[in-house]
Chain A
């Protein structure tokens, strides 16, 4: 049984790679997208078998609900609002990684403290929470800017980079506390909250015109978050697929920057591109 699951994961991985490759060519792009959807279906089916369906009602109702929301949303959205939609979906992906990591952490810290938790696992959990949190609120902020709910202008204030740095250091400090003592739930929650705040702070100084680049970068982050959750759960398909998206996302971000004649650094430091692209 186990070998069958692993082989299905392997086939899914190959289909993902072929799918991304085909997305590069105009004529084959749609086919590529369908191939990668098939790969996702295979991965989900294999995982359902692997999980032995201990809680079938909960599992299927969550998937039905999520699937219905996603489908309706994707069909209703106006063509011009597509990039915003991608931003929201990406944010949900990041949040999902955050919740998966938190769920695994809760099992280890509170519900079954007898489980031994090694350093590699706890570091992977911490990374998933930080990256997932930043992706979540960062993507929602990008959505807000594109849809005009948040000002598309670059929002800058003095000491911004300093504040980000201090928050990042605080998050690292909390992470160290958790790494030393797995049961430090408060430190874990504080770190999660900081990562959510950081996501907003990192995106607000960037102008609306640069949002597509930011979404591409956040997309890369959500891939990395999935990759680190793979290390938490010791699951190879998560690691491979997450790494594929993480790496290709960074390259795509760079290509998009070049196409807009901007450097990645100047986009990230923000303050330029203040003319709103959204609204």
Chain B
């Protein structure tokens, strides 16, 4: 990775982190758990990395496949659980 590219990615990192800090400043206590669950599903974005690792190769490919299975469980399960939580929410209201 070239240094210019790295600095550019660092800019992205800093701005996105700031965005993350600001986004959830005033969340009501009832939404703590769903928000945690929802952002857990989002952290499954590592699925993108896993897809890119399942390519020609031997051990590296198998490692990528394990990563892809785990990441997909994280993503699909994460969103489904969050949706169930929020559904429950609506019925109560």
Contact = CB atoms under 8 A, between A and B. Distances in A.
Tell me if A's interface is mostly helix, strand, loop or mixed.
Answer: helix
Contacts of B65: 58, 62
B52 A90 contact: no
Interface stretch (A98-106, A158-166, A169-177): A98-106
A274 interface: no
Given A33-B82, A74-B77, A229-B49, A86 B40 contact: yes
A252 interface: yes
A100 B43 contact: no
Contact of A234 (B5, B28, B31, B47): B5
Contact of A233 (B19, B52, B80): B52
Q: How large is the interface on A (under 10, 10 to 19, 20 to 34, 35 or more residues)?
A: 35 or more
26 contacts: A23-B24, A23-B34, A23-B38, A23-B39, A33-B41, A40-B79, A54-B55, A63-B68, A70-B75, A74-B78, A89-B81, A96-B47, A97-B67, A100-B53, A111-B57, A111-B58, A227-B13, A229-B49, A239-B9, A240-B16, A242-B43, A243-B20, A244-B20, A247-B16, A248-B39, A251-B24
Contact of B73 (A70, A102, A234, A238): A70
Interface stretch (A24-32, A146-154, A264-272): A24-32
Contact of B54 (A24, A51, A85, A215): A51
Given A70-B72, A237-B45, A215 B36 contact: yes
Identify which of B30, B37, B41, B48 gathers the most chain A CB atoms within 10 Å of its CB: B48
A24 B77 contact: no
A247 B20 contact: yes
Contact of B68 (A20, A32, A59): A59
B21 A231 contact: no
Given A30-B83, A96-B67, A111-B57, A20 B46 contact: no
A89 to B, nearest CB: 5
Contacts of B23: 17, 20-21, 24, 244, 248
Identify which of A44, A51, A69 gathers the most chain B CB atoms within 10 Å of its CB: A44
Interface residues of B, number: 80
B42 A50 contact: no
Contact of A37 (B18, B28, B61, B79): B79
Nearest to A87: B40
Contact of A252 (B1, B35, B84): B35
A82 B84 CA distance: 9
A21 B82 CA distance: 15
Interface in A32-81: 32-34, 36-37, 40, 43-44, 47-48, 50-51, 54-55, 58-59, 62-63, 65-67, 69-71, 73-75, 77, 79
Contacts of B74: 70, 89-90, 92-93, 96
Interface in B57-93: 57-61, 63-90, 93
Interface stretch (A193-201, A202-210, A218-226): A218-226
Interface string A11-27: 00000110111011010
Interface in A123-147: none
B73 A86 contact: no
A278 interface: no
A54 B60 CA distance: 14
Interface in B1-34: 1, 5-6, 9, 12-13, 16-21, 23-34
